[in-house]
Amino acid sequence: MERNAMKEHLKKMLGADQVLTEDLDLLYYSYDSSFLTKLQMSAPDTVVLPRSTEEVQKIMQFAYENRIPLTPRGAGTGETGGSAPMSGGIVMDLSSWDDIVEVDAANMQVTVRPGVIHSELNDHLAGFNLFFPPDPGSSKMCTIGGMVANNASGLRAVKYGCTEQYILGLEVVLPDGRVITTGGMKSKAIKNVSGLNITKLFVGSEGILGVITQVRLRLFPKPKGRGIVMAVFSELDDAPRAVLEVYRAGILPSGIEILDSSAIKAVNEFKPHINLPDAEAILLFEVDGNPPSVEWEGTTIVEIVSKFAQTVEWATEPDRMAALWEGRSVTAAAATRVRADGSRIFAGEDISVPLSGVADALRKIRALGKKHGIQVVNYGHIGDGNVHTAPIIDPENPEEVERALKLVDDIHLLAIELNGSTTGEHGVGAVRREYARLEHGDAVDMMQAVKNALDPHKIMNPGKVF
Amino acid sequence: MNLKEVPLLNEQLKKCVRCGRCRTVCPVLAEIKNETVAPRGHIFMVQALRDGKVKPDAQVYDRLSNCLLCETCSGVCPSGLDIPELNEYARSYIYEKNPSMIKDALFDSIWTRPSLLRAGGFFMWAANKSGLQGFARTLGLTKLLPGGLSKAEQIMHDPVMRTARATLPVINPPRGNKKFRVGYFLGCGTDLFSPSVAIAAVEVLTSWGCEVVIPDNMKCCGLPHIANGKISTAQDLAIHNLKVFNDLELDYIITDCGSCSSAISEKRLKMLLENQGYDEQIERFCSRVHDLNTFLLDIVGIDNQGLKPLNLKVTYHDPCHLAKAQGIRQAPRDILGLIPGLELIEMQDSDRCCGASGTFSITHYDLSMKILNRKMKTIADTGADVIATCCPSCTLQLKHGSNLHYNNTPVQHPVELLALAAGQES
C-alpha cells in the first residue's frame, strides 16, 4: 500500500491525535536502549497509539490485509532493538494505554492494560499489601506489556522467578485481528491446567506472534521484613561456592548480587565515598519475609559465608541496608560515568550461565575484554547465573566500536560454550537472533512453524528472535 | 554556533544510553504521552542535529520546544546528563539559522532594556485598569493575537502599576547597625509582576540590618533568552551583570527568584561563558550569590522574635529551578516555619512542575494548562488559604490556576508572609 494512503487511512481510523505521520516524529521511534539502534537509524512509516482492544484489532486487520509490518512497543526501554522497526511499517506504541483495570485483592490478582509502568503498579498494589514480585532494573520506566513480551525478571528472580510465573491470562490480538483470551475466558482461578498453555506461548514472544492488550497477573503478599548481607571475597571462586552453601542450608534469598573487581573499581572511581574494599568480588544477599525468619536467614548466611569471605556484614536497619546496597545501586551509573570520554553500551549485556560456571564466565569475560582492548564492568544476579557485562567505550570512535562488537560476539559465544544462554532476561530482539540456530538447533524450525501458523504473512515484528 | 564545537555536547551526548528513566518523570510526557516529547528523545534529536541527520529548521525547533526545561529528567538521569542545557544549545543553534525579527525585537531590543520592559508592564496595567483589556476580550480582539498569545494573555490578568524598581530606591539603608551590604539581583518577573515580593524582601532585609542595593543598571538574568534560542544575548547579559555587581562593594548578592538564582549560579554561568575568560569574574560574583531564603536563615540568622501570629494554612510549591536545579527545598519551608500560627500543609508532589516555566506558558498555553491542572488538584486537596512559592513565573501561573479553579486563593512568596508577620502592611 502506498505510504501516504496508509497514513491517511490510519488517521481516519483512530483520529489524528493517535497517529504520528510526520517524518521527524517517526525518527523518535527508531531506537530503544540497545547499542544497535545507536549505530543504525531505522524509522517506521507511521506510529499508532491505540487505547482500546477494538482499536488494536482494527489496526491489525488493516496491517494484515495490506501486508504491512507491525512492531509493538511499550516504553522502548529494551536493550535488544526488539521494539525498533527493522522493516519500516507501523510501530504500535502501547505505552499510553496504562489503565489498571481491576485489583482483585480477594483473589490475589490484578488486571492491567499493557502500558502500566511496573513500579507504578507496585506502588498502587502496596495499598492492598500485595505486590507483583519480578523486579527489573528498569522498574521505574518499563511497562507490564513489555515485561510480558520479554518475560522479564530482575534482582529477585532467585526467589520469585520471572514474569511468566505470574501470568494467569492474557488478552491477545492476533495478526489477523482475532482477539483471544488465554488462561480461561472467565477464569479467576490461580491454578489452571486446562488446555494447551497458550499463555506461555505469548510470554517472551517479543511481539512476533500478536499484540498483548490485557494482562491478568498473580500477586503475592508484600513481605514485612527485609535484610542485607554484604560479603567481601579475596578469591573470585569463593563467591559462587558461598552461594551454593547458602542454598544447601535450605535458604532461598530474594536476591544475590555480585560485583566483580571490575565493578568494584568502577564504583570506587565514580563515587569514592562508597569506598568498597579492594577485592575480587562482593556479594549482596537480600532476604525477605516475616521478621523472625529474615533474622534467622540473615544470621545463618553470615555464619556460612564467613567461612569463605574476608569480611561479612548483616543489616536490617534501613539506613545501613541502603549503605550496603549503595555499591550495587550505583553500578549501572558508574559503568556509564567511569570513563570521561566514553560510556557503557548495551550490547552483550545479558548472558546467563550455570551457577557453577559464574566465576569462570566472569574471568573469561575480563580476559576477552583485555584481548579486545575494551574495559568491561561485570555485575549481575549470581543467584541465578545471570551476568550483566557493560563494555565501556567511546561510542563515537568507529575503531573502538568495531572492537567492541567483536567482544560482544565473543561474549555471546562464550555463554553458549559454557552451557548457558545468550540472554537471561533481556531477550533476543534483533541483536541476538544470529545465535538462534547455535543455541536451539532444530528447535528453531518448530519456533518458525508456530510463527507461520499464527502470522502467515510475517507482518509481526520482522527481523527479531530467530 | 557550531554544535560540534560545544564542549557540553561533545562530552555528554555519547553518554545517553536511552534507558528511558527520564520518561516517567517528565511532566510534558505525562500529558502528550508519546516519544517525541521524551527527554531522551530531545537528546536523540540534539545528536541528530549535531551529526547533520536532521536540518536545523523550525520543525526541529518545535519538537525541542516541547520541554519545560524543568530539570526533573536531569535529576534522575543515571548518566548525569544536563538534558535541558543540551536542548537549549540546540534551540540557539537552530534559531541562529532561522532568525525572526519579532523575536529579535522582543529578546534583544526590549528584554535587554529594563526601561522598555517596565513601559510594557505599565501598558498592560493601563489596558487592564482602563477596561481596554476586557473590552478587547469582549470584542474578541485578543483572539487576533498570534499563536497561543490570545489565550496566554489571560495569565496577565492582574498587572501592576508600579514596578518594584519604580517603588524602591537604589540604596535602601538598614535599620539600626549595618550588618551587611547586600546587592539585590531583582529579576524581571518580580520587578514587573510581583513587586510586593521585592518590597517585602527589602523590608525584612533592612529590618535585620542589611543595606540593600538594587543596581539600576542591572539587566535580565538571561534565562528567558536561553530558553528561546538566544544564548548569545544571554551571554551578553551575563557579562553585563557580572560587571555591574562586581564593580559594587557588596558583601552578598541575593535574589528572591529561583529561576534567577539558578541562571546566575556558578555552574550555569561557567557553562554559558565557557572558554571566554570570565571564570575569575564568575567566581567572584557567584561566591557572594545566595537565594533569599537561605541567606536570611544561614547568613543573617533571622528568628521568630517579634513576629505576630498568622493563622493561615499554607501549602508550598517547589519551583523547579530552585528545588531541582539548586536543591533548595527546606529553606523556604523553614522561613514559613518561623511564623507563629502558620500551618504548613504539604501538597502531594510539591516539586512537580506547575507548567509555567517562564515563557512556556505563553508559547504552549494549552499544554501548560494541562500541567497546571494537575498541580491545582494537589493544591486543592490541601485546603490551604495561601499558596507559597519562590518564583514569579510560578506565581503568575498559580495565580492563573487559582483564578480558574480555586477561588482566587492568594499566591505569595514566603518572605511576603514573613514581612506580614513582622508587621508590614499588606
**Could you give all domains of chain A from N- to C-terminal order, each with its CATH number?**
3-93 (3.30.43.10), 100-221 (3.30.465.10), 225-334 (3.30.70.2190), 339-437 (3.30.70.2740)
Residue B284, SS3?
helix
Q: Which tens digits make up the pLDDT trace of B88-120? A: 999 999 999 999 888 888 888 888 887 777 776
CB-CB neighbors (< 8 A) of A31 in chain B: 18, 44
Residue B4 C-alpha, separation from nearest chain A C-alpha, in angstroms: 12
Of the residues B11, B12, B18, the best mutation for testing chain A's interface (the one with the most A CB atoms within 10 Å of its CB) is: B18
Residue B115 has which C-alpha cell? Answer: 526601561
Q: Phi/psi at B247 (nearest 5 deg)?
A: -80, -15
Residue A237 C-alpha, separation from nearest chain B C-alpha, in angstroms: 31
B216 inside 8 A of chain A by CB: no
Residue B157: pLDDT band (50, 70, 90) is low
Q: Would you say the C-alpha torsion B399, B401, B402, B404 has a positive or negative sign?
A: positive
Contact by Cβ (8 Å): B194, B392: yes
What is the spatial distance between Cα A111 and Cα A217, in angstroms, rounded to a whole number?
Answer: 6
What is the spatial distance between Cα B19 and Cα A30, in angstroms, rounded to a whole number?
Answer: 14
pLDDT at B231 over 60: yes
Residue type at position B166: A
Question: What ipTM was predicted for this assembly?
Answer: 0.94
Helices (H), B113-251: 114-129, 132-139, 149-152, 164-167, 188-193, 195-207, 223-227, 231-246
Residue of A nearest to B58 (CA): A24
DSSP state of A383: G
Q: Phi/psi at B95 (nearest 5 deg)?
A: -60, -40
What is the spatial distance between Cα A80 and Cα B260, in angstroms, rounded to a whole number?
Answer: 43
Task: Identify the bridge partners of residue A215 per DSSP, sorted by sequence position.
Answer: A112, A170
pLDDT, position A272: 87
Tell me the count of A-B CB pairs closer than 8 A: 92
Contact by Cβ (8 Å): A138, A25: no
In a domain, B391, yes or no: yes
Cβ contact, residue pair B78, A27, below 8 Å: no
Of the residues A73, A141, A396, the best mutation for testing chain B's interface (the one with the most B CB atoms within 10 Å of its CB) is: A141
User: Which of B45, B73, B97 finishes a domain?
Assistant: B97
Of the residues B19, B40, B348, the best mutation for testing chain A's interface (the one with the most A CB atoms within 10 Å of its CB) is: B19
Which of A38, A75, A395 comes nearest B23 by C-beta?
A75
pLDDT, position B142: 56
In a domain, B109, yes or no: no
Cβ contact, residue pair B35, A28, below 8 Å: yes
pLDDT at A337 over 90: no
Q: Is B275 exposed, middle or buried (0-12, 13-18, 19+ CB in 10 A)?
A: exposed
Which of A22, A93, A336 comes nearest B17 by C-beta?
A336
pLDDT at B140 over 60: no
Which of A29, A141, A396 comes nearest B14 by C-beta?
A396
B45 inside 8 A of chain A by CB: yes
In a domain, B191, yes or no: no
Cβ neighbours of residue A375 closer than 8 Å, sequence gap 6 or more: A262, A338, A339, A369, A391, A392, A393
Residue A49 C-alpha, separation from nearest chain B C-alpha, in angstroms: 8
Report CA-CA distances (Å) from A400 to A269, A344, A404, A405: 22, 12, 6, 9
Average pLDDT score over chain A = 96
pLDDT, position A269: 86
A99 inside 8 A of chain B by CB: no
In a domain, B343, yes or no: yes
Q: Phi/psi at A255 (nearest 5 deg)?
A: -155, 145
Instruction: For residues B272-291, give the mean pLDDT.
Output: 96
Residue A125 has which C-alpha cell? Answer: 498494589
Range of the domain at B351: 313-421
Instruction: For residues A65-85, give the mean pLDDT.
Output: 98
Q: How many CB atoms lie within 10 A of CB A385?
A: 23
pLDDT, position A332: 83
Overall domain count for chain B? 2
Q: For chain A, give the percent of residues with pLDDT over 90.
A: 90
Of the residues A25, A27, A142, the best mutation for testing chain B's interface (the one with the most B CB atoms within 10 Å of its CB) is: A27
What is the spatial distance between Cα A86 and Cα A93, in angstroms, rounded to a whole number?
Answer: 15
In a domain, B322, yes or no: yes
Task: Identify the bridge partners of residue B291 per DSSP, sorted by sequence position.
Answer: B255
Which of A29, A140, A343 comes nearest B17 by C-beta?
A343
User: Which of B97, B126, B153 finishes a domain?
Assistant: B97
Cβ neighbours of residue A229 closer than 8 Å, sequence gap 6 or more: A283, A284, A285, A287, A298, A301, A302, A305, A312, A313, A314, A315
pLDDT at B73 over 60: yes
Q: How many CB atoms lie within 10 A of CB A111?
A: 18
Residue of A nearest to B9 (CA): A341
Cβ neighbours of residue A16 closer than 8 Å, sequence gap 6 or more: none
B44 inside 8 A of chain A by CB: yes
Q: How many CB atoms lie within 10 A of CB A94?
A: 29
Residue A150: pLDDT band (50, 70, 90) is very high
Which of B17, B35, B59 comes nearest A29 by C-beta?
B35
Residue B230 has which C-alpha cell? Answer: 538566544
B408 inside 8 A of chain A by CB: no
Report CA-CA distances (Å) from A380 to A140, A429, B75: 19, 20, 25
User: Which of B66, B97, B128 finishes a domain?
Assistant: B97
Report CA-CA distances (Å) from A196 to A180, A183, A193, A356: 14, 9, 8, 34
Of A169 and B408, the structure prediction assigns the larger pLDDT to A169
A46-48 sheet: strands from edge to edge: A19-20, A46-48, A90-93, A70-73
Report CA-CA distances (Å) from A248 to A51, A157, A244, A245, A447: 49, 18, 6, 5, 37
- Angle between helix B414-421 and helix B330-337 axes, rounded to 10 deg: 20
Q: What is the CATH number of the domain that holds B13?
A: 1.10.1060.10
Q: How many CB atoms lie within 10 A of CB A76?
A: 31
B370 inside 8 A of chain A by CB: no
Cβ neighbours of residue A240 closer than 8 Å, sequence gap 6 or more: A355, A356, A358, A359, A382
A333 φ/ψ sector (left φ>0, alpha ψ -120 to 50, else beta): alpha
Query: Count of H helices and E strands in chain B?
Result: 25, 9
B59 inside 8 A of chain A by CB: yes
Q: Would you say the C-alpha torsion A346, A352, A358, A360 has a positive or negative sign?
A: negative
What is the spatial distance between Cα A264 and Cα A274, in angstroms, rounded to a whole number?
Answer: 10
pLDDT, position A274: 87
Of residues B354, B362, B357, the one with CA closest to residue B318: B354
CB-CB neighbors (< 8 A) of A344 in chain B: 17
Task: Identify the bridge partners of residue B344 per DSSP, sorted by sequence position.
Answer: B314
What is the spatial distance between Cα B334 and Cα A262, in angstroms, rounded to a whole number?
Answer: 44
Residue B333 has which C-alpha cell? Answer: 519551608
What is the spatial distance between Cα B263 and Cα B222, in angstroms, rounded to a whole number?
Answer: 7
pLDDT at B144 over 80: no
In a domain, B224, yes or no: no
CB-CB neighbors (< 8 A) of A77 in chain B: 19-20, 23
Residue B316 C-alpha, separation from nearest chain A C-alpha, in angstroms: 24
CB within 8 Å of chain B, chain A residues 14-53: 20, 22, 24-25, 27-29, 31-33, 37-38, 41, 47, 49
Residue of B nearest to A331 (CA): B78
Q: How many CB atoms lie within 10 A of CB A368?
A: 22
C-alpha angle A227-A231-A232 in degrees, rounded to nearest 5: 155
In a domain, B238, yes or no: no
Q: Is the pTM of this model over 0.95?
A: no
Residue of B nearest to A120 (CA): B24
Residue with cell 510480558: A148
Residue of A nearest to B11 (CA): A341
Residue B22 C-alpha, separation from nearest chain A C-alpha, in angstroms: 8
Report CA-CA distances (Å) from A38 to A35, A259, A399: 5, 27, 15
Residue of A nearest to B59 (CA): A24
Rg (CA), chain B: 21
Which of A76, A333, A340 comes nearest B35 by C-beta?
A76
Q: Which tens digits make up the pLDDT trace of A374-404? A: 999 999 999 999 999 999 999 999 999 999 9
CB-CB neighbors (< 8 A) of B21 in chain A: 138, 140-141
Residue B186 has which C-alpha cell? Answer: 531583582
B19 inside 8 A of chain A by CB: yes
pLDDT at B126 over 80: no
pLDDT at B129 over 90: no
Residue A345 has which C-alpha cell? Answer: 553500551
Residue B318: pLDDT band (50, 70, 90) is very high
Q: What is the CATH number of the domain that holds B335?
A: 3.40.50
A11-20, A134-143, B113-122: least confident range? B113-122
Residue A147 C-alpha, separation from nearest chain B C-alpha, in angstroms: 15
Residue B145: pLDDT band (50, 70, 90) is low
Cβ contact, residue pair A28, B80, below 8 Å: no
What is the spatial distance between Cα B261 and Cα A323, in angstroms, rounded to a whole number?
Answer: 33
Which of B15, B78, B80 comes nearest A332 by C-beta?
B78
- Maximum distance among all Cα pairs of chain A, rounded to whole angstroms: 70
Which of A27, A93, A341 comes nearest B48 by C-beta?
A27
pLDDT, position A371: 98
Residue B256 has which C-alpha cell? Answer: 528572591
Report CA-CA distances (Å) from A218 to A69, A163, A205, B354: 33, 10, 20, 37
Rg (CA), chain A: 23
Residue B140 C-alpha, separation from nearest chain A C-alpha, in angstroms: 28
Residue A271: pLDDT band (50, 70, 90) is confident
> How do B180-184 and B252-255 pair as beta strands?
parallel
Residue with cell 499544554: B367
In a domain, B376, yes or no: yes
CB-CB neighbors (< 8 A) of B45 in chain A: 27-28
Q: Is B277 exposed, middle or buried (0-12, 13-18, 19+ CB in 10 A)?
A: exposed
B246 φ/ψ sector (left φ>0, alpha ψ -120 to 50, else beta): alpha
Q: Would you say the C-alpha torsion B219, B224, B225, B226 has a positive or negative sign?
A: positive
